[in-house]
Every structure is written in structure tokens, then in C-alpha cells.
Structure 1
Amino acid sequence: MPMIRWAVEDGRLATIPEDITQSDVTAWGVAALVCTGLAVLGANLTTLLPSSALLALHSPRNDAVSIVQIRQQVAELRAATAELRRQNDTLTTRFSLQEQSGGEAARRLGALEVALPVIMESRPTVAPIDRTVTTASITGTPSQQFEADGGTVVVRQSPLEQPIPAPIQLASASGAQVGYAVAVGSSFSPGQAAMQWRNLEVQLGSLTVDLTPLLSNATDSNQQRIVLGPIAKLSDARDLCAKLEQREIACSPASYAGVSMAR
């Protein structure tokens, strides 16, 4: 390939040829082919190498260890995230179960709040005690013997001593019953007992189930009042009056005496 060098000499443009041999052209051609082959080979080798090797080749020597550590830390973080996710699912399930049990407990408590007042009102003022229930589990089983250090231990079962029940109060000779009672409602004139009792039955409800009404004379001889009984204790009569006063019904403890009336 001829090369032309231009020079200006004496105001004239002249060409100066240079001698180029065949060996020079051959050497440059071989060098170009070698460079091209190396470039093609390098491009193909990069696709065959793994990404980790490329990162290791392109990273400095001091950064090679830190990249490995980062990858290890990322793997640990992924494992920790999976563990936290599993614990979160477990806690969510437990929370749901606690909400269900709490709702069931609240529902039962509400039912008890509604049922207890009704049970307390329907409960008799003086409830008899079944003495046979308290010792029902104790039967006539023979005594049991157990071997122990130094001798034999004998175990016998016997029911507890029961207190003697209080004597039954009998009616007096005049026909009036004895005991405690509550005087309910206001005083009224003779002949109005049936109407007064119907009004009191509506107001008292189930509180009068186990009580019997009697007609007694009020402080004024011309007035009468209804008493309900019999009640065993004066404290029970006061408790019943407290319940009736909450319903705005006049009530006071009294003795259970008077004339029987039809309910």
C-alpha cells in the first residue's frame, strides 16, 4: 500500500514515495488476524463463564470477601424472614382462636346475667336442705387396712353429724299462723282485698309463688293490709322488702297473722 508524503519545496508540491516490502505487509496482517481471533475468543468465553467468576474477575482483591459475606447474610435474612412469617401465621391462628373463645365466654356471661335474676326471683325464700345429698357418697363400706412402717393403718368412713333441725312452728289455737311475713301495698278499706291482691300479683310476679297472702288489720281499725308469708327469719323478710322497694312497692316486715284469703 503506497504511502504519499507531501512536502513543499521551493514552492512546488512534490510526492516522495516510500519503499514497503512484502514481509512488512505479511507481519501486519498476521498481527491483525491474531487480535481478531483473540477478540472473538474472549467474547465467546465470557458467555461460558459463570456470573460469580465474572464478578470475581472484575472486583478488586479487597472486595471479593465482602461479596461472599453479603451473599451469606442475604441467605440468612431469607431464612429469618421465612421463620418470622411462620411465627406470624401461628400467632394469627392463636389470636383467632382466642377471639372465638372470648366471644363464647361473653355470650355465656350474657346468658348468665339474664338468667340469674330470674332464678333469684323464682327461688323460694326458705329453701329446704336435702340432708341425704350431703352424705350420698358415704356408704356402708367396711374399713380398709393399709400396711405402714411399724404397723397397720385402718381407715373408716362415716357421715358427718347433722345438726338437729329447728322445731316446726305450729298454728296457734286461734287459727292464725305464727312466723314472719311482709306487709305489702297500701292500706285499703274492707271489701277491696280481691282487687288489691290482683294488682299486687301483677307487680310482684314470681316473688309470690311460695308465699300465702293473709288479711290483717292495719294500725287504723277501719283499714286492712295484705301480708305475705310465712317467712322463717326476720332477715329474710327484710331482704324481700328491699327487693320490693326497688320495684316501688310499699313493704314492711310484720308477723304472719290474719285471715286467709283466696288467691
Structure 2
Amino acid sequence: MKLAVPGPTHTPFFNSLINTLENRSELLHKVDEYVKPREDTPFLKTIKKNFTDLKGISDLSYFYSKDSPSWEYLLGHQMLATWRKWVIDRFKDPLRLAIIAAGKKLVKKFDISKKRMTYRNSHTKLDIKRQFLEWENNKAREDLFEAAFDIDIAEYEHDPYYHFREDVILELYIQAILDGKYDARPEGWPLPNADKPKHWNKHWLEPAPYGGKHSIIAKMIAHREEINKLLEE
């Protein structure tokens, strides 16, 4: 893959840099093409064992259950275990850093506040951002969520193309809930502060009880027949 770089004649140092980038790009492409997933290590076996015991999360308990004949080919297992390092190094970390950088650049240029915005939904999004960040207490992820909220709110406020398509997506989620096709989060998830692995402690501060039967989605599902009848009128 040749890198097209416009401009005047390059210096020897610059040409060397371009060649290095080209060689690295070709090398990474070959690695992606030929590298094989590694065999299960004790760490991956522990992951599978732990997830099998998560009875509160039906998708994950089935994920590694005996009823799932080919879990090693499932997307969740491949990303979480088999290709874990690749997913983190080549996908999640670059994406996280790009979102944070874009969000910081955006708020440096613009004031994303209610006094600067006209749409009621944009104001509500700001309120949701504030509430979410009060509950989110993972210092390593707060910048990511804040940047993602800011990008979404700014796009919603200024660009009708994304604004109304986001409304459509929200309507489709609501319809899926009322059709009984979208599950509520399990009770107590995200993980509470006590009796959990040390690195999860105090990462989520939502007042208990939450999730499960306490979730607004679970309540909508429980009453979806009544709601659907009202919507038909």
C-alpha cells in the first residue's frame, strides 16, 4: 500500500519515514491475514468457567454452556478470549483514543451547553449525560463517555441528517421493547460496588436496586400488551 503524500520534494529523512510506514502497514496486513488464534490458556479457561456461572445473564450463561455446541466460533468468545489482545490493541484502544481526541477538539472549539442549543432533545441529552457520568466512576473511561456524549449532542443539534436518523433508531428500539424483542439488563448490572472483583469496585454508583425488575425496560415489557393497546387507539 503506497501512501500518497502531497507536497514539495521530500527530504531523505521524510522519504525514510514514509517507507517505514509503508513497510509497517504491509507487515500488519500480513499479520492480520496469516496469524492464527492461539489455543486456550489457563486464563481463557478461567473466563469460560466464570461466565458459565453467570446465571443472571442468560446470553452469557448460554455462551459457554454445554447447550452451545460451537461457542469457540461465536463473535463474543472470539473478541473476548481468542483474539482478546488483537481486539484491544488494534480495535478498542485506537477507537477509544480517537473518540476522546475528537471530543476534546470539539469542546475546545464550541460551548456545548443548553444556552447554546435550541432543541429540547439536545437539552435532555445533556441531562442524561450528567446523570450517566454521576453513576460512571471509572476514571479510565470517564473521558471516553464524556467525549461520546459531546459528539452525539453536537451532531444532533446541528445536523438534520443525523438528528432525525437518531430519532428513528430510538423509535425502533422502543418498538423492539414493546414487541418483546429487547431484554432488560440483569438486576445489579452494571456491577455494584461490593462483593465483586477488586478492579470493578466503585466503578458504578447508581443507587440500588437497579436492573432486572427495577429497569424501565423490564416494566415496559411487563406492561407491553396494555401499552400496545393504547397505541392502537
> TM-score, structure 2 length as denominator?
0.17
Structure showing greater relative contact order (alpha-carbon pairs closer than 8 Å, 6 or more residues apart): 1
Question: Which structure's residues are more often helix, by fraction?
Answer: 2
Structure showing greater radius of gyration is 1
> TM-score, structure 1 length as denominator?
0.16
Question: Which structure's residues are more often strand, by fraction?
Answer: 1
